[in-house]
Amino acid sequence: MHIKQGIRLFLEENTEDISLAYLLKALVKAGMVKASIRYMTFHRAIEQFSQRHYGHDIPQKRYGEIKDMTLNSPMIIGLPGSGKSTISDLVEGETSDHQHREDCLYRSRSFEVPGSYIENHWMHSIVIMLSQNQASGVLLLIDGASGETLYSSGFARAFNEPCLGVLTKCDLLSEEEREQGLARLVDAGVDMALCLSTTTGEGVNELLDWARNVAPNE
């Protein structure tokens, strides 16, 4: 899909506030926009292109904070409600009271990618780009309670980094449902997959060991 078509589709499907800062960073990293572009130039171009007004103070400040950022920590991806924030809290060793957001959440030992990036298939290439530039590994989640997944077959094989598939909320699942969920993760192309329940503690130690192994400097 042409980048303009992709941006148009994203803006049409996401009518709530979004962070243009992260969109710009992704486009720069993908080589689709020159790194020398000023944030406000991009901002005005998006407004003219979409014929829609965006507030700019916070995104402009955020872009200044993240434009040169490089990371070496696990990237957590999954649909909304799949448990990204819970797993991030486990990796961080502390809880966060952050609200639902439409841009990436960077923390000291992990970062979360918004569920909308998975819901919009044209954004999958940006997810892959983010992993290549900023992640030491990928945690790919499926919500065990719903079983919903939008990962195409072999999706995770696009990642150069180790990829752990996590079936969340496993305490709610039957043995058959567990097998089906793990099979979906394997079909998505993860290196390995596990069941996780923060209620019973199942899989927590294995997940934390994996996170430490892919970020050995932490």
Q: How many CB atoms lie within 10 A of CB 163?
A: 27
24 and 124 together in one domain: no
Residue 100 corresponds to which tokens in the numbers above? Answer: 């639902």
107 and 36 together in one domain: no
Of the residues 27, 49, 66, which one is the last residue of a structural domain? 66
How many CA atoms, within 13 angstroms, populate the side-chain half-sphere of residue 10? Answer: 24
pLDDT tops 50 at residue 57: no
90 and 106 together in one domain: yes
C-beta separation of 144 from 181 below 8 A: yes
Share of the chain above pLDDT 70, in %: 72
Write down the pLDDT at residue 58. 47
130 and 79 together in one domain: yes
pLDDT tops 50 at residue 13: yes
Average per-residue pLDDT for the chain? 81
* Alpha-carbon gap, residue 69 to 149, rounded angstroms: 30
Which one, of 40, 23, 9, 5, lies nearest residue 102 by Cα? 23
For residue 71, the 8-state DSSP code is -
Which one, of 191, 194, 192, lies nearest residue 205 by Cα? 194
180 and 143 together in one domain: yes
C-beta separation of 60 from 42 below 8 A: no
* Alpha-carbon gap, residue 74 to 139, rounded angstroms: 7
Of the residues 40, 66, 92, which one is the last residue of a structural domain? 66
Domain containing residue 35: 3-66
115 and 187 together in one domain: yes
Write down the pLDDT at residue 69. 54
- Bridge partners (DSSP) of residue 193 are 165
Q: Where residue 187 sits, what CATH number does that domain have?
A: 3.40.50.300
pTM (two decimals) = 0.70
Which one, of 4, 21, 2, 11, lies nearest residue 120 by Cα? 11
34 and 126 together in one domain: no
Which one, of 92, 82, 77, lies nearest residue 137 by Cα? 77
